Amino acid sequence: MRDAGYEVVGTALNSEQAVELLRSLPVSALPDIVTVDFHMPKMEGTRVIEYIRNLVPGVRFVMISSDATLPVVMKAKHAGVDAFIVKPFEPQTVLDAIAKLE
């Protein structure tokens, strides 16, 4: 991401870390786009999206998952995901999805 010119404000190993990280950032450092895995430790990705939306209004979401079944995709769509990427993927796939959201 950095090599493509994007600023990465943080990474998290699980959903709770992600929420805490965003809570700790100053308003000027809040992200415009967040990537989230559907199956995250501690809390499902769609629940994390709910928490993050409350912390960062207007944020866009790219969801990544190895599970592209219709129920998962529909749940992601209902949660307001802006892009959905299926694992495995090439790094360019993520860059292309983010570029479409800008």
Give me the CATH number covering residue 40. Answer: 3.40.50.2300
- Residues 58, 67: Cα–Cα separation, whole Å: 26
Q: Which two tokens stand for residue 76?
A: 């992601």
pLDDT of 28 strictly over 90: yes
Q: How confident is the model at residue 30 (pLDDT cuts 50, 70, 90)?
A: very high
Q: What is the mean pLDDT of residues 87-92?
A: 96
Q: Give yes or no for residue 25 having a pLDDT over 90.
A: yes
The predicted structure's pLDDT at residue 90: 96
Structure confidence by residue, pLDDT tens digits, 38-81: 998 889 999 999 999 999 999 999 999 999 999 999 999 999 99
What is the reported pLDDT for 70?
95
Q: Which domain holds residue 61?
A: 2-101
Contact between 59 and 31 under an 8 Å Cβ cutoff? The reply is yes
Q: What CA–CA distance (Å, rounded) separates 5 from 65?
A: 24
What is the spatial distance between Cα 64 and Cα 87, in angstroms, rounded to a whole number?
A: 7
The domain total for the chain is: 1
